[in-house]
Each structure stands twice: as structure tokens, then as C-alpha cells.
């Protein structure tokens, strides 16, 4: 049970052929709403549910206490309150490997109930494209958004040097593993859940 350091995450990204995030340029001072009326309408046409209620208080070794909005409207989420067994997946609509991975994660989430899945649309200035990708991929798990990258280097997360990045949380909410590689088959997601969480395979 371990989490990657920033250096290890970057090394793994190089070894697995992932590249550092290269989001489309946008004005960091510009307010980007991820819950505008058109996005709420898009979300209503998908199977993406509202964001989860979370436990009050941070888990030792868990996600950082950063509150992010629900993609397409809904309650905001303090990620420190997430409890597992859970897969937290960092992705973006502009990330090719993320687009390849999302159907496998969606299929896994639909196939079992032991492991929850939450997606983080990270450094993505195109929330409409993100919701359309989720709809096409048949995502039926909650999605939050971090368009300005507040979670990058937010301890105890490593620097998000490559995407997709997947964080495994145990039942206490502690981070037990971080993977900087794409899972392109449902069976691979299930195998990772068994390995790092002991359930959901």
C-alpha cells in the first residue's frame, strides 16, 4: 500500500507513454462556471448523478481538503471527506488517453457496487466537451471539476504530471495507491481494485 511521490509519478508517466498535461490555453483570471444553465441541461441528458455527500473531517493520509464544484451543477464536494473503497480518477476532455480510458471505468462502475468511482475533470476549460464525453462513455458515477488545477500538488497528492491519474482510497479514506496510466479494459480496472483495495473484482 503506497502512494507515488512526484518524481515517481513523473517517471511512471514517461515509462507508460503518458505525457504531461497540456490543457488548451485559457485565462486563469477568467471565471469559468461548470454549472451554467447549458451545462446543467447537458448533464440532465446523461446518466451522471449528483455529487456525493461526504463525511465531515479529513481522513489521515486521505485526499486534500479542497472543495470543488460538481460538474454540471449540484453540491460542491470537500474531497477530504471522501471514503472508500473508492477510485478517484483525474481526467480531461482534451486528454486522448482519458478518452480511451473512460468507457472502461464507466463499465466497471456499472458492473459492481463494492467500489465507488468519482471523476475529477482537471485543468479542463471545456466543461461542455467533458460532459459530452461522459455522456458518450455512459458514465453513471459523480463528476467534480477542478478547472484551475487547485488539486495539483495539494498534499498528499503528487504533482499531476500525467493524465489520466487514478487514486485508490481505502474504507478509511486513506490514499493507498496512485496510478499514472490509463486502464483501457474493464478487466484491468477490476484487477487494480482487487490489488489495491481488496474488493470490487
3-state secondary structure the chain: CCCCCHHHHHHHHHHCCCCCCCCCCCCCCCCCCCCCHHHHHHHHCCCCCCCCCCCCCCCCCECCCCEECECCCCCCEEHHHCCCCEEEEEECCCCHHHHHHHHHHHHHHHHCCCCEEEEEEECCCCHHHHHHHHHHCCCCCCEEEECCCCCCCCCCCCCCCCCCEEEEECCCCEEEEEECCCCCCHHHHHHHHHHHHCCCC
Q: Does residue 135 sit within a domain?
A: yes
Domain of 182, in residue numbers: 6-17+34-197
pLDDT of residue 201: 74
Number of domain units in the chain: 1
Quote the pLDDT of residue 27: 52
Structure confidence at residue 23 (pLDDT)? 55
Q: Is residue 23 part of a domain?
A: no
Residue 29 resides in a domain: no
Query: Residue 124: inside a domain, yes or no?
Result: yes
Q: Answer yes or no: is 67 within a domain.
A: yes
Per-residue confidence (pLDDT) for residue 24, from 0 to 100: 58
Asked if residue 85 has a cis previous peptide bond (ω within 30° of 0), the answer is: yes
- 98 Cβ partners below 8 Å, 6+ apart? 91, 92, 163, 164, 182
User: In this structure, is residue 147 part of a structural domain?
Assistant: yes
Q: How far apart are CA 26 and CA 17, in angstroms?
A: 26
Q: Going residue by residue through the chain, which has 201 residues, state the pLDDT in tens, using 9 for 90 and above.
A: 333 333 333 333 333 334 445 555 545 556 689 999 999 999 999 999 999 999 888 899 999 999 999 999 999 999 999 999 999 999 999 999 999 999 999 999 999 999 999 999 999 999 999 999 999 999 999 999 999 999 998 988 988 988 999 999 999 999 999 999 999 999 999 999 999 999 977
d(C-alpha 20, C-alpha 14), whole Å: 9
Answer whether residue 183 is part of any domain. yes
CATH number at residue 76: 3.40.30.10
Amino acid at each position: 500500500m503506497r502512494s507515488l511521490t512526484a518524481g515517481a509519478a513523473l517517471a511512471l508517466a514517461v515509462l507508460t507513454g503518458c505525457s504531461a498535461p497540456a490543457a488548451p490555453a485559457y485565462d486563469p483570471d477568467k471565471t469559468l462556471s461548470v454549472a451554467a444553465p447549458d451545462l446543467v441541461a447537458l448533464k440532465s441528458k446523461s446518466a451522471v448523478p449528483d455529487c456525493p455527500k461526504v463525511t465531515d473531517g479529513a481522513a489521515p493520509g486521505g485526499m486534500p481538503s479542497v472543495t470543488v464544484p460538481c460538474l454540471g451543477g449540484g453540491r460542491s464536494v470537500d474531497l477530504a471527506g471522501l471514503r472508500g473503497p473508492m477510485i478517484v480518477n483525474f481526467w480531461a476532455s482534451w486528454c486522448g488517453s482519458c478518452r480511451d480510458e473512460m468507457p472502461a471505468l464507466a463499465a466497471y462502475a456499472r458492473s459492481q457496487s463494492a467500489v465507488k468511482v468519482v471523476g475529477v475533470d482537471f485543468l479542463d476549460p471545456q466543461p461542455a466537451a467533458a460532459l459530452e464525453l461522459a455522456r458518450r462513455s455512459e458514465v453513471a458515477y459523480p463528476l467534480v471539476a477542478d478547472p484551475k488545477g487547485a488539486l495539483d500538488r495539494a498534499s498528499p497528492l503528487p504533482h499531476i504530471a500525467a493524465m489520466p491519474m487514478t487514486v485508490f482510497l481505502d474504507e478509511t479514506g486513506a490514499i493507498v495507491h496512485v496510478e499514472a496510466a490509463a486502464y483501457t479494459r474493464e478487466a484491468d480496472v477490476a484487477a487494480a481494485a482487487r490489488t489495491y483495495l481488496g474488493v470490487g473484482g
